[in-house]
């Protein structure tokens, strides 16, 4: 994945090499996911091929990167955070597979490839999503567990972000808002749950794997919340400003489906300003981490400036 900018941390420090960070962490996450998942040939092979098809379709691995970077910010070890980084990516991929189904967003392309149901059929795509969600909890259960954050807290964290009060709540509200005029407040409700909750959970889990203090967890929560909202505002902007080729998924779908988005409600320029404001809040939340937070600062800038 090309990363054109070297991101600079606070003035006293040199540039953080985000390109190298993303390349090495993506490779490490891919290796770990490959180890955690059943082989493609394990019976019944169809489901394992379908799970792997979407999981290894070229996603940006932003949630795992945030999880690993949060572990480092709290003085932890990336290897300890790796099962949690992989678990979050499995939940994210499940949500994309299901979101692309005809009963939901009905999309033909994702991550630059045909969607799961276009290749394997709707039944297998539903099951592949189900299996990825289940797999996430199996992988997370393999983490070591930490004094402040035993397995129960880790599993509750994941379940909370993925459940009917967060990720699924956001998707339900999004479906129900289609074709309707909704307020910026209602849109915020959708974005907080559909997007921000899992990004926030990713950084919180990274912190937990470092046995972070309550104050560090609070700072990561503020960072994750703001970066998660900024991520979705940018995603809405890209849907109207970029081509399908660049995005690897169908562009312009939000307008076509009369989806409530930030550009639709407050316009493009105000949406850009809002993404910047949220990113600034995310940076402010990191002040307590000093140089250890450099990767998180760089990721927040990258997400703001991304073009796909």
Give the pair of three-digit tokens for residue 179: 């074709």
Q: In whole angstroms, how close is the CB of 191 to ligand GRG at the nearest point?
A: 8
- Binding status of residue 117 toward ligand GRG by CB under 6 A: no
Residue nearest to ligand GRG (CB): 59
**Cβ–Cβ under 8 Å, residues 13 and 294:** yes
Q: Least distance from C-beta 163 to ligand GRG, angstroms?
A: 10
Residue 178: phi and psi, rounded to 5, are -55, 130
C-alpha torsion sign, points 24, 29, 30, 34: positive
Q: Which two tokens stand for residue 172?
A: 């339900």
Which 3 state secondary structure label does DSSP give 131? Answer: helix
Binds ligand GRG by CB under 6 A, chosen from 22, 32, 55, 62? 62
For ligand GRG, which residue of 25, 48, 52, 111 counts as binding (CB under 6 A)? Answer: 111
Q: CB-based contacts of 41: which residues, under 8 Å, 6+ apart? A: 48
Number of separate helices (H) and strands (E) present in the chain = 16, 4
- Judged by CB under 6 A, the residue of 115, 195, 271, 279 near ligand GRG is 195
Strand intervals (E) in the chain: 7-8, 15-16, 109-110, 113-114
15-23, 80-88, 92-100, 208-216 -> range binding ligand GRG (CB under 6 A):
92-100
CB of 147 to ligand GRG, least distance (A): 32
Q: Which stretch binds ligand GRG (CB under 6 A): 29-37, 94-102, 280-288, 290-298?
A: 94-102
- Residues that bind ligand GRG in the complex, under the rule CB under 6 A: 59-60, 62, 92, 95-96, 98-99, 111, 167-168, 171, 194-195, 232, 235
């Amino acid at each position: 994945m090309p990363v054109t900018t070297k991101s600079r941390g606070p003035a006293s420090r040199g540039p953080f090499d985000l390109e190298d960070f993303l390349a090495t962490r993506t490779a490490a996450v891919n290796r770990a996911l490959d180890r955690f998942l059943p082989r493609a040939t394990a019976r019944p092979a169809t489901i394992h091929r379908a799970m792997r098809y979407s999981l290894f379709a070229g996603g940006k691995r932003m949630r795992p990167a945030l999880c690993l970077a949060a572990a480092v910010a709290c003085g932890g070890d990336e290897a300890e955070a790796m099962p949690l980084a992989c678990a979050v990516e499995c939940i994210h991929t499940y949500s994309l597979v299901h979101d692309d189904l005809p009963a939901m967003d009905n999309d033909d392309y994702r991550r630059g490839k045909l969607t799961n149901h276009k290749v394997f059929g709707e039944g297998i795509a539903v099951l592949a999503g189900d299996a990825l969600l289940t797999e996430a909890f199996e992988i997370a259960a393999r983490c070591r567990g930490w004094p402040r954050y035993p397995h129960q807290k880790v599993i509750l964290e994941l379940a909370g972000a993925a459940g009917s009060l967060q990720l699924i709540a956001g998707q339900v509200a999004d479906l129900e808002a289609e074709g309707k005029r909704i307020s910026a407040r209602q849109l915020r409700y959708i974005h907080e749950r559909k997007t921000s909750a899992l990004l926030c959970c990713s950084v919180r889990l990274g912190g937990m794997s470092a046995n972070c203090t309550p104050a560090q967890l609070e700072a990561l929560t503020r960072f994750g919340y703001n970066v998660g909202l900024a991520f979705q505002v940018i995603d809405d902007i890209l849907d109207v400003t970029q081509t399908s080729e660049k995005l690897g998924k169908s562009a312009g779908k939000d307008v076509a489906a009369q989806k409530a988005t930030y550009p639709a409600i407050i316009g493009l320029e105000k949406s850009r300003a809002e993404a910047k404001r949220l990113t600034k809040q995310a940076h402010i939340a990191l002040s307590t981490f000093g140089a250890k937070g450099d990767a998180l600062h760089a990721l927040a800038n990258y997400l703001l400036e991304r073009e796909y």
